[in-house]
């Protein structure tokens, strides 16, 4: 065998050895459950052990967590074949009550490149956190708010809204909801809330099932636990509007058009003189039929009625205002009547009821 062939075989053998000599990452464990953590006890710490079972040095090139509350620490020194390294992980529980599960991604010069570690546990909230994040008292269940604000919702649409809760007791809680109107439903997750953990109430509003327009407010009842008779009211609010965005140019040209006075002047009204009445007209100067979706006021001293809610082209409807002078205590009468209609240009109008109250 020539010297050239011997040299070639030697180089080939070295190349094969270089290819086969690779680092290999093996973990003693890839998950850690802290169990119960007290928020006031500070950072919770644990460690993971990495062993290089390969034939060449192993290097950690990067380590990161899915959340800033979780911090991995490691040495940048290479791990020789057969050696091990400890990676420490700390979790900051401050302001994070309830169950948690976080992932830590470790990148190395191995194949596959990435390993995934996981930490989990339950944080028992401090009194300060409970008061700041769950200020509404519902017995042993604390709520983020006592209002479920859906905001503006177009008629015919379904919208969701979320309300968080926290179980401060040492037992599991099974909450229930009562007095839900037909157009509101609630999903509870989890249905049974373990001690020290959070839950989310997901509210759904189906506007097709709601008979009202404009500002709608309903009080629903939360029973924090089926074992108690304690109840707390929660207010669900929404503004239901009509969607005119799909009207064609032709439909807009033929749309109804509403006309109302800016104000109704009652003049001098004597306090505690019984019930007085005033009227004003709603006119449709458009082409299609005008539909009065809602006419309302928040003033308890005023009652409103309308003789018809469908107004044909060129016709009018009469609105009757009855004022209970015993309930008007201010020296000036200044009330608002809100009118919601199917006029795409002016779907919501306000008429002011004004006057001077005399003794």
Is 240:210 a contact under the CB 8 Å cutoff?
A: yes
| 27 has pLDDT over 50 | yes
Task: Report the candidate in 91, 122, 133 with the shortest Cα–Cα distance to residue 195.
Answer: 122
120, exposed or middle or buried, with CB in 10 Å at 0-12, 13-18, 19+? Answer: middle
**Equal CATH topology for 21-124 and 134-241:** yes
Average pLDDT over residues 307-314: 96
Task: Report the candidate in 304, 301, 303, 251 with the shortest Cα–Cα distance to residue 282.
Answer: 304
Rama region for 236: left / alpha / beta (φ>0; ψ in -120 to 50; rest): beta
- What is the tens place of the pLDDT at every residue in 73-124? 999 999 999 999 999 999 999 988 989 999 999 999 999 999 999 999 999 9
Distances (CA, A) of 253 to 181, 248, 250, 313, 346: 37, 9, 5, 13, 14
Beta strands 348-358 and 263-270 are: parallel
Is 228:145 a contact under the CB 8 Å cutoff?
A: no
CATH of 21-124, one of 1.10.1200.10, 3.90.1150.10, 2.60.40.10, 3.40.630.10: 2.60.40.10
Q: What percent of the chain has pLDDT over 90?
A: 75
- What is the tens place of the pLDDT at every residue in 130-172? 999 999 999 889 999 999 999 999 999 999 999 999 999 889 9
Is 63:76 a contact under the CB 8 Å cutoff?
A: no
CB neighbours of residue 50 within 10 Å? 21
Which H or E element spans position 169? none
Domain limits, the chain? 21-124, 134-241, 249-358
Identify the pLDDT of residue 154: 96
Task: Report the candidate in 264, 277, 288, 275 with the shortest Cα–Cα distance to residue 345.
Answer: 288
Identify the pLDDT of residue 356: 86
Q: What is the CATH number of domain 249-358?
A: 2.60.40.10
Is 341:347 a contact under the CB 8 Å cutoff?
A: yes
**Scanning the structure block, which residue is given the tokens 């304690």?**
230
pTM of this structure: 0.76
| 339 has pLDDT over 90 | yes
Q: What is the CATH number of domain 134-241?
A: 2.60.40.10
DSSP state of 58: B
Which H or E element spans position 250? helix 249-253
Average pLDDT, the chain: 91
Identify the pLDDT of residue 293: 96
| 358 has pLDDT over 90 | no
Average pLDDT over residues 229-256: 93
Alpha helices per DSSP H over the chain: 3-20, 127-133, 249-253
Cα dihedral sign, 213-219-220-224: positive
Average pLDDT over residues 253-263: 96
Beta strands 31-38 and 114-124 are: parallel
DSSP state of 151: E
């Amino acid at each position: 065998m020539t010297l050239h062939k011997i040299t070639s075989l030697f180089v080939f053998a070295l190349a094969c050895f270089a290819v086969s000599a690779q680092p290999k990452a093996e973990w003693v464990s890839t998950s850690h459950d802290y169990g119960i953590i007290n928020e006031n006890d500070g950072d919770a710490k644990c460690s993971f052990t990495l062993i290089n079972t390969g034939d060449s040095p192993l290097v950690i090139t990067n380590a990161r967590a899915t959340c800033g509350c979780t911090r991995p620490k490691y040495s940048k020194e290479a791990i020789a074949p057969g050696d091990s390294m400890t990676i420490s992980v700390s979790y900051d529980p401050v302001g994070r009550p309830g169950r948690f599960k976080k992932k830590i991604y470790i990148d190395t010069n191995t194949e596959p490149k990435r390993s995934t570690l996981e930490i989990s546990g339950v944080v028992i909230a401090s009194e300060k956190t409970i008061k700041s994040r769950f200020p509404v008292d519902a017995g042993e269940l604390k709520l983020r708010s006592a209002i479920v604000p859906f905001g503006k919702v177009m008629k015919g649409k379904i919208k969701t809204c979320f309300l968080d809760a926290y179980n401060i007791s040492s037992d599991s809680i099974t909450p229930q909801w009562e007095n839900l109107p037909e157009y509101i439903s609630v999903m509870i997750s989890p249905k049974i809330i373990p001690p020290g953990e959070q839950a989310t109430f997901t509210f759904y509003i189906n506007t097709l099932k709601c008979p009202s327009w404009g500002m709608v407010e309903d009080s629903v009842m939360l029973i924090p636990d089926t074992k108690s008779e304690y109840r707390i009211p929660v207010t669900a609010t929404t503004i239901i509007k009509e969607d005119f965005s799909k009207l064609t140019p032709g439909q807009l040209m033929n749309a109804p058009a509403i006309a109302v006075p800016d104000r109704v002047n009652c003049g001098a009204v004597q306090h505690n003189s019984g019930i007085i009445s005033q009227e004003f007209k709603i006119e449709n100067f458009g082409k299609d039929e005008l539909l009065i979706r809602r006419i309302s006021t928040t003033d308890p001293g005023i009652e409103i009625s309308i003789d018809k809610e469908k107004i044909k082209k060129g016709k009018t409807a009469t609105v009757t205002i009855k004022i209970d002078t015993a309930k008007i205590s201010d020296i000036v009468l200044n009330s608002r009547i809100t009118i919601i209609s199917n006029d795409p240009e002016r779907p919501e109008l306000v008429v002011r009821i004004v006057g001077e109250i005399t003794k």
